[in-house]
Structure 1
Amino acid sequence: MQTEKVQFTRERETLLATLYGRALDSKNPRPILGDDAAAAAVERIDYDFSKMRINERSALGVALRAKLLDRWTAEFLDSHPNATVLHLACGLDTRAQRLNPGPGVRWFDVDYPDVIELRGKLFPERDNYTTLGTSVTADDWLEQLPNDRPTLVVAEGLTMYLTEPEGMRLLSRVAEHFPSGQLIFDMYSRGAIRMQKLVPAVRNSGFDTALGSR
């Protein structure tokens, strides 16, 4: 089996923590998410996941969050079988694989170019599925996307990495570009963001935990 060497910046390595959390959940006799694609991806990545100190308890939190957003996504697609899905800062998430949407759904995953490059090595191509290698706060990518269908915008694990001006500008741009749809995301209070420094995977990344509270 061919393995892939990961050479991310320390901050971007946090996406490996959520991947590993979903992989751990998949090995549970009674998994919450059952993300076998995440487990397969972990097997192919040449990286010391043990240094993240992800245990079953933290994996539970990762799986529960993903499960809730999966449910909301599935509900939207049940009501809009010909929708567009836009996943902001997708990381190594496998939501498209888990939900396996119907042929009428158009799906876009967006993240930094090196993340998208790794995705291309780990996950097989899908019909009506497109990746874009760019920062979600960049200026020139959103206008490339079609806006002729109801659109679900997903932002999981993103908001705490944005300053308030960045977050508000991104939300405004998304709302202006897509005439109809929904936005689903998780968010943290200022105190919860500061508490992230106690999470080993976040602390080891060097992420400025005050960033998202500004």
Structure 2
Amino acid sequence: MAIDATQLGEVQETLLIPLYGRAVETVKPRPILRDRKAVEMVEAIDYDFARFDGGRSLSGTVLRTSIIDAWVQDFLERHPGGTVVEIGAGLNTRFERVDNGRVHWVDLDLPDAMAVRAQFFVESERRRMVAASVLDESWVAVVKTLPAPYFFISEGVLVYLEQPQVRCAVTLIAENFPGADLAMDTAGRWMIDHQDGHDAMKQVTARMRWACDDPAEVEGWGIGLRLLESGDLSRIPARLRDRVPVARRTVLRVVSLVFRQRFGGYKLNHYRA
């Protein structure tokens, strides 16, 4: 029986883009990542995924996901029994990709997205699914029951909020979980202003709201977040490099240099509270 995706809100619909990206990547001869669960979910969901075919964004979401996977794996090597919190978990399968048998995990998303997620995933002793907004303080108490240290992930989520809402969300993290790590992406003003022509964004109703040309500006918010690392999608972590063909890495680097305003305006950032 097909699962109806029309119950998803405008922003929540965007979770289907990276899901489809992972499914498409999985069936390639030399995929950067393999995600058979994504293939199963795409087949089970009643939605016109073909609207995203032909665009570069699918491979971009796969690369973004893989870079963050590498950061989480680095974290788990240092803290194998720590806790990872996936903000706006959508239909991500990161737990399945990086689970070391000891990590504690929280999937956090809005109720409609979590209702779809619950049809594919179940809770376990080390994994919780919380239906709430990141702006709702109720999730804080749930996470505090799990062992420190903490790694929070916001992948393609906070960019859809207004800046004061983003500040509220990261303040909740910084004030309640000192020492925690936070991975989140930022989009520059050019990208925000031109998203109507973006190959994937023009296929959905939701629009990114938060323009951030310099990820270091978050340090100036006075909430205790320090920027450890920031770069565009051409900055491939060492543990991922062998899975990204040399030709593709070269193209990414050239595009990053030549189209810095467009490509370089999108950043993946690693902060610590």
| Pair in the same fold by TM > 0.5 | yes
Counterparts of 1:173 and 1:70, CA distance in 2: 23
- What number of residue pairs does the alignment pair up? 210
Equivalent of 1:137 in 128, 135, 138: 135
Q: Which residue in 1 is equivalent to 2:19?
A: 19
Q: Which residue of 2 aligns with 1:152?
A: 151
Instruction: Name the residue aligned to 2:111.
Output: 113
Aligned-pair Cα RMSD in Å: 1.9
Q: Distance in 1 between matches of 2:196 and 2:180?
A: 34
Per the TM alignment, residue 134 of structure 1 is displaced from its structure 2 partner at its CA by 1.0
Q: Which amino acid aligns with 1:134?
A: A
Q: Hey, what's the Cα distance between the residues in 2 that align with 1:22 and 1:195?
A: 25
Identity %: 33
Query: After the TM superposition, which segments of 4 or more aligned residues of structure 1 sit over 3 Å from their partners?
Result: 124-127
Aligned to 1:57: 56
**Separation of aligned partners in 2, 1:22 and 1:56:** 14
Mapped partners of 2:142, 2:199: distance in 1:
37
What residue number does 1:78 align with?
Answer: 77
Deviation at 1:54, TM superposition (A): 3.1
Structure 2 alignment gaps of length 5 or more: 213-273
SS at match of 2:107: strand
> How far, CA to CA, are the matches of 2:20 and 2:34 in structure 1?
13
Larger Cα-atom Rg? 2
TM-score (norm 1): 0.90
CA contact (8 A) 1:160 1:213 kept: yes
In the other structure, the counterpart of 2:205 is: 206
TM-score computed with the length of structure 2 as normaliser: 0.72
Question: 2-side partners of 1:88 and 1:10: how far apart?
Answer: 17
Q: Kindly indicate whether the alpha-carbon contact (under 8 Å) linking 2:153 and 2:183 is maintained by their aligned counterparts in 1.
A: yes
* Cα deviation digits, residues 36-93 of structure 1 (max 9, x gap): 2111111111112113x23363221111000000000000011001101111111111
SS at match of 1:81: coil
Conserved 8 A contact 2:85-2:151: yes
Q: Which has the higher contact order (CA 8 A, sep 6+)?
A: 1
Structure 1 CA distance for aligned equivalents of residues 26 and 147 of structure 2: 36
The 2-side partners of 1:92 and 1:61 are apart by 17
Q: Tell me the CA shift for residue 131 of structure 1.
A: 0.7
The separation in 2 between residues aligned to 1:10 and 1:145, in whole angstroms, is 27
Change in CA separation of 1:89 and 1:179 when aligned onto 2, cut-off 3 Å: same
Provide the residue aligned with 1:66 in structure 2.
65
Q: Which amino acid aligns with 2:128?
A: T
Take 1:87 and 1:205, find their aligned partners in 2: how far apart are those partners?
Answer: 23
How far 1:195 sits from its partner (Å)? Answer: 2.4
Shift in Å, 1:207: 2.1
What code does the residue aligned with 1:31 have? P
